Amino acid sequence: MSSRKEWVVLASTLILAAGVAGAIAIFGPKPPKPAPINLPERIFAVSSESEKQSSDQDNRIRSVFKPSEKEEHILELFRRFNIKERGCRLDSRGKELGKAKRDLQAAAVELVKSSGMDRYKALGVFAYCRFADSLDNMLGSDGGPDSGLYKERLLSWGGGFVDAALSAGVLYRDKEQHLILPHKHKFFVRALFLARWAGFLEPRFPMSAALSKADYSAVLKWRAWHSNTTSLEQRIQAIHDLATLDPSFRPRLAAGLVYARLGKTRQAMSELEIEKRLWNSPEVEVAIEYVKELKKLSSKVKNRNH
């Protein structure tokens, strides 16, 4: 995938600018659900091995990574960008945001040229760890006056990322407005944060060049299945990209599941029947049964409305 398309992937996966709270969930309104059948979602999950590897890397970075003076400057530019991004609704701040981003991009590209991509990746993980620490302190908080210091730190390390994560469904707030991060989303938060970090090298370097295979796969899986803000076309493109990234990934099954979840029974059955001929499995049988039951439910609803 070209660097331009990769940036579109990132931008549509997690909207970076502030003010995304009104984004419309693509998966609504939901079609009727054939209870008690559940679609097999394992194909879109992150492996426990990937989670362990990322956790080990984070721990290494926390214990041994020391940013150089040049890298500290990049982190300062990053925090400056985040603060301005959060207030970019005003025209004057919008202009300031553009300059802050250009300054950060120039410094990021220069670091890759002088110290290598691995060093830039490590600096991104370092920034993520600071963000994760700030996020941990805010989890369960309503963001009120008592959490001012933690909120300020989260803003400086995350910028509009938290608003975008709330819109995309990575984070959510409970009835008391407490910030919640489901355990199954922790790896996705990490991957999406690092994807945002990788995006600052655009257009000089493609996003995939600044992400591990596991992180890039997680970004694509998020887009394909989990995100609230991704179109059907973008979901199917993410599935194609996953198949290119990992030859063992089963794109027909994945596409069939996405179509089924959206209530598009004809397209779902077409993909799943092909998958059944290529690689029959209990997952395919469950998905096909789901679609059949969904078609019955849809027919009942139509008959009731006539």
What percent of the chain is predicted at pLDDT more than 70?
A: 80
Nearest to 85 by CA among 172, 165, 156, 168: 156
Q: Determine the 3-state secondary structure of 89 from DSSP.
A: coil
Pick the residue with more confidence: 239 or 183?
239
Q: Which of 50-59, 68-77, 138-147, 193-202 has the lowest mean pLDDT?
A: 138-147
Pick the residue with more confidence: 17 or 173?
173
Say which residues have a Cβ less than 8 Å from residue 24's Cβ, sequence separation at least 6: 229
pLDDT > 70? residue 99? yes
Nearest to 190 by CA among 150, 167, 219: 219
pLDDT > 80? residue 134? yes
Q: Which of 124-133, 184-193, 288-297 has the lowest mean pLDDT?
A: 288-297
Structure confidence at residue 174 as a pLDDT band (50, 70, 90): confident
Q: How far apart are CA 165 and CA 83, in angstroms?
A: 16
Query: Given this model, what pLDDT does residue 272 score?
Result: 95
Find residue 172's DSSP bridge partners: 180
Say which residues have a Cβ less than 8 Å from residue 26's Cβ, sequence separation at least 6: 227, 228, 229, 230, 231, 232
Classify 294 in phi/psi space as left (phi over 0), alpha (psi -120 to 50) or beta: alpha
SS3 content of the chain, % helix, strand, coil (to 5): 70, 0, 30
Q: Take residue 299 and report the two structure tokens written for it.
A: 């027919």
Structure confidence at residue 294 as a pLDDT band (50, 70, 90): confident
CB of 172 closer than 8 Å to CB of 166: yes
Q: Mean pLDDT score of the chain, rounded to an integer?
A: 84
Query: Given this model, what pLDDT does residue 287 score?
Result: 93
Give the up-direction half-sphere exposure of residue 48: CA atoms within 13 A in the CB hemisphere: 0
Structure confidence at residue 25 as a pLDDT band (50, 70, 90): very low
pLDDT > 80? residue 279? yes
Q: pLDDT per residue over 212-256, tens digit each?
A: 999 999 999 999 999 888 999 999 999 999 999 999 999 999 999
* Sign of the alpha-carbon dihedral angle for 141, 144, 150, 153: positive
ω into residue 36 within 30 of 0, thus cis?
A: yes
CB of 27 closer than 8 Å to CB of 261: yes
Give the up-direction half-sphere exposure of residue 205: CA atoms within 13 A in the CB hemisphere: 23
Query: Given this model, what pLDDT does residue 175 score?
Result: 86
Q: pTM of the full predicted structure?
A: 0.83
* Sign of the alpha-carbon dihedral angle for 269, 270, 276, 281: negative
Query: Given this model, what pLDDT does residue 223 score?
Result: 94
pLDDT > 90? residue 61? yes
pLDDT > 90? residue 23? no
Structure confidence at residue 297 as a pLDDT band (50, 70, 90): confident
pLDDT > 80? residue 207? yes
Pick the residue with more confidence: 95 or 270?
270
Nearest to 167 by CA among 11, 10, 26, 14: 14
Structure confidence at residue 30 as a pLDDT band (50, 70, 90): low
